[in-house]
Structure 1
């Protein structure tokens, strides 16, 4: 009797473990479809991709994810936090995918799966309007410049500064808005960020800022990072298919033109990034 009871207990425990494992084995796309929402993590200090406009979350990412949501048949649920917490939040499962966006690099591709590119991400400099001491990127030698903390753009700015004969003082800011504020106040001479971002800032504040040409960074692209786990494959496949459809029917170009004033010629996928 005791052996029979023990055997039943083992079978019951095995069934419970199997049921629990089955629940966890449900893939990310199935979970998203069941919940009816795609949770997207991002920051709101990276205009024109994500920013707060009169108290409302706006930008290219909002428009593009709305289209992705339509293709997947789900609503978009935004999770907003500082950039340095976005990728760790993805890994911790606080949301399903990132808006950001993030520069597609070899190091990041080893850790995350990226969507098709949404824009060029080549890094350039923003300076104060009329500052004749900065006419080319090399002119920041020996001067104070800045960029957003934990960003690929800041990393490129530091690497570029190290190549100059007079080492630049590269300062890290919690976000790009703080860097732009110090630039406007004259506490730094330039901010390093992706060309689309600083072109948008200069367009919005033409009396305060202008772009330094040419860009100094390596040719790069922005994409949305997701997890590489096996149970996220179906979700990332679905997002990729949705984005390629949005690109193919011209919706992506219209969104780019709305926020950048021009459409970018981007590859469908980046297999071997230059960075």
Structure 2
């Protein structure tokens, strides 16, 4: 009787241990078992993410739709304010952040990044009627930027180097663009693809500085939690992106939304 109970307890423990290992050691397996990838993005970041009459669209969606097909699951898209995305990822509210996240050394220590999906080099936009020209002309001016972004940090460092810039933070880039158009800002800092798209669609209102870019070259990617569980998941996404690069899908999607194609690194940058 005691031997049977002991044997039964041992078997139950082994089964529980095996089930626990299977459920928690591989995020890709969990995603495939669920049949979906739960994502977070800020749908106010054209041309990557935007709402058009309530419908989600943009370069990010087109890319991730194709990645999800390659993995064999359905994407679940959620509109989450940018400041809540990285904290939400860490407490497992979603599987991945697909809002373009700038790769930085500090973030590389804390998160797993996919391959780059776009250029993220910081740039400046102004009102079309503005007399400002070069990036250095923002000295002593008021410049808007989305809060909590790598572009904010680069703008802050650039402003210090110039000798002073008043920085105004915004929850979304759309809010910053609205204040720039209304004359409440002298410029807005953001990634070059976002600002190029803005000027392309509203040339009567906005113009790029000449040159528009300042600071070090940077890239956008998608972010996952940093642990061994995520490694197969990240690899599956990267394999899909490389396949899409080689068969021309990435080029077609870039040209659709950005009007041009930028060849991207085939490895995750170290900084």
Aligned partner of 1:240 in structure 2 is 238
Whether contact under 8 Å (2:23, 2:30) holds in the other structure is no
Paired residue for 1:200, among 197, 200, 225? Answer: 197
Q: What is the aligned counterpart of 2:158 among 157, 160, 169?
A: 160
Mapped partners of 1:113, 1:177: distance in 2: 28
From 175, 178, 201, give the equivalent of 1:178.
Answer: 175
Aligned partners of 2:8, 2:33: CA distance in 1, in Å? 33
Q: Which residue of 2 aligns with 1:40?
A: 39
> How far apart, CA to CA, are the structure 1 residues paired with 2:13 and 2:72?
36
**CA distance in 2 between partners of 1:122 and 1:209 (Å):** 19
Contact 1:39 / 1:95 at 8 angstroms: preserved in 2?
yes
Comparing 20-29 with 252-261, which one deviates more in the overlay?
Answer: 20-29
Offset of residue 142 of structure 1: 0.8
The 5-angstrom pairing of residues 99-138 of structure 1 reads 99-132=98-131, 134-138=132-136
Query: How many residues are matched?
Result: 270
How big is each residue's C-alpha offset from its partner over 1:200-231, in whole Å with a ceiling of 9 and x where there is no partner?
01111111101112211211111111122111
Matching residue of 2:57: 58
Distance in 1 between residues matched to 2:70 and 2:22, nearest whole Å: 26
Tell me, in whole angstroms, the C-alpha distance in 2 between the residues paired with 1:128 and 1:7: 77
- Check whether the contact 2:24–2:229 (CA below 8 A) recurs between aligned residues: yes
TM-score for both structures, normalised by structure 2: 0.94
> TM-score normalised to the size of structure 1?
0.92
Going from structure 1 to structure 2, the CA distance change for 1:74 and 1:24 (only over 3 Å counts) comes to closer
Who is 1:25 aligned against?
A: 24
Compute the displacement of 1:24 (Å): 3.3
* Separation in 1, partners of 2:151, 2:161: 16
Q: Mind listing any 5+ residue stretches in structure 2 that lack a counterpart? A: none
